[in-house]
Amino acid sequence: MQLSRLVESDQEVCLGIPAKVLGIEGYLADVEIGGAIRKANIQLVSGVKVGDYVLLHAGFAIQKLDEKEAMETLKLLEEFYEVR
């Protein structure tokens, strides 16, 4: 699923994909998407660290994904499930 997205992303302008940061050298990071490794420019996001997930779009990281917020959203959805 993720890999097919990666392939499609080469043709699509608007797609953003979560990518895991494996290493950082200056403005460039090695990121992993569904097993594939590619370079990402991280100039547009402050405070990126190895292990973070960033949203990758057209070669640039455009945001650091917030794990705490992601967990909150999922927790809320579980609550929806329980009160159903």
Partner 1 sequence: MKFVEEFQNPRLVRSLLEQIRSLAKRNVTLMEICGTHTMAFFRHGIRGMLPKTVNVISGPGCPVCVTPTNVLDAAIEVGRRKGVILATFGDMVKVPGSRSSLEIEKALGSDIRVVYSALDALRFAEKEDGKMVVFLSVGFETTSPGTACTVLDAVQREIGNFKLIVAHKLIPPAMRALLEAGEVKVDGFICPGHVSTIIGSEPYEFIPKEYGIPCVIAGFEPLDILQSILYLLRQIDEGVSKVEIQYKRSVRPEGNPVAKRVMSEVFDVCDSDWRGLGRISESGLELKERFREYDALSIFDLDLGEAVEPAGCSCGEVLRGIKSPTECSLFGRACTPSKPVGPCMVSSEGTCAAFYRYSGGATKR
User: What whole-number distance in Å separates Cα of residue 27 and Cα of residue 22?
Assistant: 13
6 neighbors 37 (Cβ within 8 angstroms): no
Q: Closest distance between partner 1 and the C-beta of residue 50, in Å?
A: 16
Q: Which is nearer to partner 1, 23 or 55 (CB)?
A: 55
Instruction: Map the footprint of partner 1 across residues 9-68, applying CB under 8 A.
Output: 9-16, 18, 20, 41, 43-46, 53, 55, 57-60, 62-63, 65-67
Query: Distance of CA 27 to CAs 16, 38, 42, 54, 65, Å?
Result: 19, 14, 5, 14, 18
Footprint of partner 1 (CB under 8 A) = 1-2, 8-16, 18, 20, 41, 43-46, 53, 55, 57-60, 62-63, 65-67, 69-74, 77-78, 80-81, 84
